[in-house]
Amino acid sequence: MAFERIGSTEVWSGKIATVRVDRVRYDDGDEAEREVVAHPGAVAVVAHDGEHVFLVEQPREPVDEQALLELPAGKLDEEGEGPLETAKRELAEEIGKGAGQWKHLTTFYGSPGFSDEEVHLYLATELHDASAESDENERIEIKKVPLSELDDAIRDCRDSKSLIGLLWLKTYEL
């Protein structure tokens, strides 16, 4: 063990995130305070039909972006729903697709220096039309990007989970 948590105080609680200040003790006896943004975690989906990868564009208020290009994605905010189920639901809600094949690609921390957010990344292929209703996604626009333009999409992408998904697609899955 490099450290153990010996105390934790919640300092703010919002609709999505909670902030706490932890006290940790290292194995050499040193102690320190760490600020942690607790987040429920998220999923993101690389969905392609062999010709196009399906992305979405949406306003991202925290970073002042009017239309950020991203993978279909969503928070793990439904009680009792696992990551793969959330991925399936989000794919239907955001781009109106289901998939015959699902594959877990990797799971990573978004910003492990200050947040515990974990992102589960999936590949969805054998796509078919599927519909799902959601009121939260009304500002999302679907962007079909030809796989022949994948390099351009990677160079323009400014969202970490989407960059990982598109780079993984190009490197290992095409």
Contact (Cβ atoms closer than 8 angstroms) between residue 150 and residue 50 = no
Minimum gap (Å) between residue 124 Cβ and a second copy: 19
Amino acid at 120: H
Contact (Cβ atoms closer than 8 angstroms) between residue 145 and residue 51 = no
- Of the candidates 91, 73, 80, 74, the residue with the CA atom closest to the CA atom of residue 132: 91
What residue ranges bind a second copy (CB under 8 A)? 1-3, 5, 11-12, 14-17, 19, 21-22, 24, 26, 33-37, 39, 42, 59-68, 70, 75, 106-119, 139, 154-155, 157-161, 163-164, 167-168, 170-171
CA distance 3 to 18: 22
Minimum gap (Å) between residue 126 Cβ and a second copy: 24
- Catalytic annotation, pick one of 51, 79, 133, 136: 136
Minimum gap (Å) between residue 56 Cβ and a second copy: 12
- R_g (Cα) of the chain, nearest Å: 18
Minimum gap (Å) between residue 128 Cβ and a second copy: 28
Would residue 81 show up in a list of annotated catalytic residues for this protein?
no
State which residue, 66 or 101, has the beta carbon closest to a second copy: 66
Sign, Cα dihedral of 18, 65, 94, 163 = negative
CA distance 143 to 50: 15
State which residue, 21 or 132, has the beta carbon closest to a second copy: 21
For residue 74, count CB atoms less than 10 angstroms from its CB and return exposed for 0-12, middle for 13-18, buried for 19 or more: buried
CA distance 155 to 158: 8
State which residue, 15 or 128, has the beta carbon closest to a second copy: 15
State which residue, 94 or 127, has the beta carbon closest to a second copy: 94
Catalytic center residues:
136
